[in-house]
Structure 1
């Protein structure tokens, strides 16, 4: 997706036009102003790889980390792929000095972030059922104000994606004081030409044009921490990619140079804590590699701080 800046007239300040792989352009307000030239909040919040570096995470003001822990009550439905987010969050506090700053638990006890992971469930094959599960849960547990559902494998058909978007929008209308976080599905090695990318683009476009909150799971794992794009080299969720351009993933081989995460980890400090020069930390990242889990965790805390009110950048 390519972005272009477009200046508009009265009523709107600055637009960003996004063009997807089919060259379909969508203009969305980045900085929006009313007729009195006052900046207004469009409601759009996109968290992607540009917010998921270690350097993005460490500059989140502590007051907004604490505000997240004070105000947010998060329920997160997922199975194994979705667990990458919390897999990365588990050892993060230790990496950051073991000060209990970045802890979470299912009850929000002891000053930790309140993040509840109900019994294993996800969106896959469930886009016409997750909404009723959500209603039942929220009606019984009204304290929760941030709702997240992840995919195991993205449903790649129009009916399922339409149902997902429509049901999320309906839930937002029924529970207007809660934040519903949309999510893309993990990479599968089919690249920009594949169905997964096509339907992920549909989710992104819907969120852009309708001012939704999106945690772009797929975009985060499309890049390494140095912003090198591996989606264009057919990367999959395990971080293998087509390193020699022959159209075949070197999946499962012994050569770490064909796994962007393994190669990056070998060449960066994964032994020390952050304040002692550490650049990544070990974590159990289902189906994937630790640095992918690291980036998912950084993006998650960025998301939570923004929902709590931090005035970070949108893109």
Structure 2
């Protein structure tokens, strides 16, 4: 009887161990701090209100890996153009692209696609809904990328994707592994010293087709609600695409600030202002050629997404 009792206890311990491991896989480790950078944040007034010490801290301490295809250029082209906007911006918002330099933001554009598993397309979040998870791991586990402490992935078209089952759990898995106190953070074998902040992103708007199951607004609501509940950072593409400069919401808007009801509100606003006084020209690289963000006919979309990104970076660096 004693041997049977020992066997039963051993079985229960093993069963409990498996149960505990399974629970750990599903565990939600919240962020320490988070913010949804939406249309209320994506403005020059808000950007200029951030104290220099936090912009400087972000510029010198953060190392960003960003992966995207066409729509993702709204962030990078905006950030590359911002240093040429106003006097002092060339220093305050100095940035590099895959070429780290002293006193400039270390930004590594299209950094992670090549780290995908063989035969898997991880160009953005839309090509293969879960490819970003292993591509991020492979990238962050490479000693050449040990400095990276911020990671962001962009959607192409978010419509029709299973955000609740793939994107959100995938991001949470990466947070659990590489976030502060994550299982892969430390100095043991297979670990890295620098923890990583992961920035969530909503998808761009689709003109006249934003509302309904699996469509941009509904997907954005899922992501934003999760980030608000668990304190994660989020760059809200959808909110910026669908709100004009006065804060009016145009539910039918597309990714170019264009609405059947509200008109071409970003192009109209740009036409009433001038370069250096109201907006700046987006660029393909730091100091590179002037260009609009992909699928845009104006600079305002990329301007606003650059403002939102810098707000997030300043917050990561300790602001508010």
Instruction: Look up the match of 1:123.
Output: 125
Name the CA shift for 1:205/1:263 in 2 (closer, same or farther; >3 Å): same
Instruction: Look up the match of 2:10.
Output: none
Which secondary structure does the structure 2 equivalent of 1:199 belong to? helix
Give the Å deviation of 1:84. 0.5
Quote the Cα distance in structure 2 between the aligned partners of 1:178 and 1:119.
15
In the alignment, structure 1 residue 308 sits paired with structure 2 residue 317: yes
Instruction: Look up the match of 1:26.
Output: none
In the alignment, structure 1 residue 99 sits paired with structure 2 residue 102: no
Kept in 2, the 8 Å contact 1:155–1:161? The answer is no
Name the CA shift for 1:170/1:148 in 2 (closer, same or farther; >3 Å): same
TM-score (norm 1): 0.75
Give the Å deviation of 1:61. 1.0
Where do 4+ consecutive residues of structure 1 move more than 3 Å? Answer: 191-194
TM-score (norm 2): 0.73
Instruction: Look up the match of 1:240.
Output: 258
Instruction: Look up the match of 1:114.
Output: 106
Which is greater in Rg? 2
Instruction: Look up the match of 2:301.
Output: 292
Structure 1: stretches of 5+ with no match in the other structure: 1-40, 244-256
Quote the Cα distance in structure 2 between the aligned partners of 1:99 and 1:290.
18
Quote the Cα distance in structure 2 between the aligned partners of 1:150 and 1:201.
16
Quote the Cα distance in structure 2 between the aligned partners of 1:91 and 1:215.
18
Give the Å deviation of 1:161. 3.9
Instruction: Look up the match of 2:39.
Output: 49
Find 2:271's aligned residue among 250, 255, 266. 266
Which secondary structure does the structure 2 equivalent of 1:214 belong to? strand
**1:197-216 superposed matches below 5 A:** 197-216=217-236
Instruction: Look up the match of 1:162.
Output: 165
Q: Judging by fraction of residues, say which structure has more helix.
A: 2
Instruction: Look up the match of 2:280.
Output: 281
Give the Å deviation of 1:224. 1.9
The number of residue pairs the alignment matches comes to: 249
In the alignment, structure 1 residue 132 sits paired with structure 2 residue 168: no
RMSD: 1.8
Q: Judging by fraction of residues, say which structure has more strand.
A: 1
Quote the Cα distance in structure 2 between the aligned partners of 1:100 and 1:108.
15
**1:138-157 superposed matches below 5 A:** 138-140=140-142, 141-157=145-161
Give the Å deviation of 1:125. 2.9
Kept in 2, the 8 Å contact 1:148–1:182? The answer is yes
Quote the Cα distance in structure 2 between the aligned partners of 1:90 and 1:211.
28
In the alignment, structure 1 residue 191 sits paired with structure 2 residue 210: yes
Instruction: Look up the match of 1:173.
Output: 176
> Relative contact order (C-alpha < 8 Å, sep 6+): which is higher?
2
Kept in 2, the 8 Å contact 1:84–1:296? The answer is yes
Q: Answer with 116-125 or 126-135: which moved more.
A: 116-125
Which secondary structure does the structure 2 equivalent of 1:115 belong to? strand
Kept in 2, the 8 Å contact 1:270–1:282? The answer is no
